[in-house]
Amino acid sequence: MSYPQALTPEEKLADAKRRLSLPRIVVICGSTRFMAEMTEADLRETRAGKIVVRPGCDMKSPHEFWSDPVEAEMLKVRLDDLHRAKIRLADEVLVVGDYIGDSTRSEIAYARSLGKPVRFTHPEVAPDA
């Protein structure tokens, strides 16, 4: 007698999104130096009918939340974890900008390890280009 295979958490999430008739979810990745470009990409993707998630904090711009260096370092770790959760939630990744640093390169590798399609606003900077 064979038993049905239990669904993985990822399969359960995909099934729930299908049952809820959710539009595709795209996560925007890239250096926060490209926040203006991320806003533009958000507009384009939203206009195309997608749910968009993206970085919510630009730690390169002054703010009281990260004015203390010790607090800022702890916040950066939490934000990195949060962004990885956004990648897990998303159906696809859009990398914005004409520069890819270590952090974004790591996010791309993580997304690909999960089988997420990755697009680039500047394909010439893709790590595998």
**Which pLDDT tens digit goes with each residue over 54-92?**
999 999 899 999 999 999 999 999 999 999 999 999 999
Kindly state whether residue 52 falls inside one of the protein's structural domains: yes
CATH code of the domain covering residue 21:
3.40.50.450
Kindly state whether residue 3 falls inside one of the protein's structural domains: no
Kindly state whether residue 57 falls inside one of the protein's structural domains: yes
Question: To the nearest whole number, what is the mean pLDDT of the chain?
Answer: 94
- Look at the chain and report how many structural domains it folds into: 1
List of long-range contacts for 115-123, beta carbons under 8 Å, 24+ apart: 116/87, 116/90, 116/91, 116/92, 117/91, 117/92, 117/93, 118/92, 118/93, 118/94, 119/92, 119/93, 119/94, 119/95, 120/94, 120/95, 121/37, 121/41, 121/94, 121/95, 121/96, 121/97, 122/97, 122/98
pTM of structure: 0.91
Kindly state whether residue 2 falls inside one of the protein's structural domains: no
Stretch 88-107: mean pLDDT: 96
Kindly state whether residue 42 falls inside one of the protein's structural domains: yes
- Tell me, what's the pLDDT at 5? 85
129: pLDDT confidence band, cut at 50, 70 and 90? low
Kindly state whether residue 4 falls inside one of the protein's structural domains: no
Kindly state whether residue 1 falls inside one of the protein's structural domains: no
Range of the domain at 18: 10-125
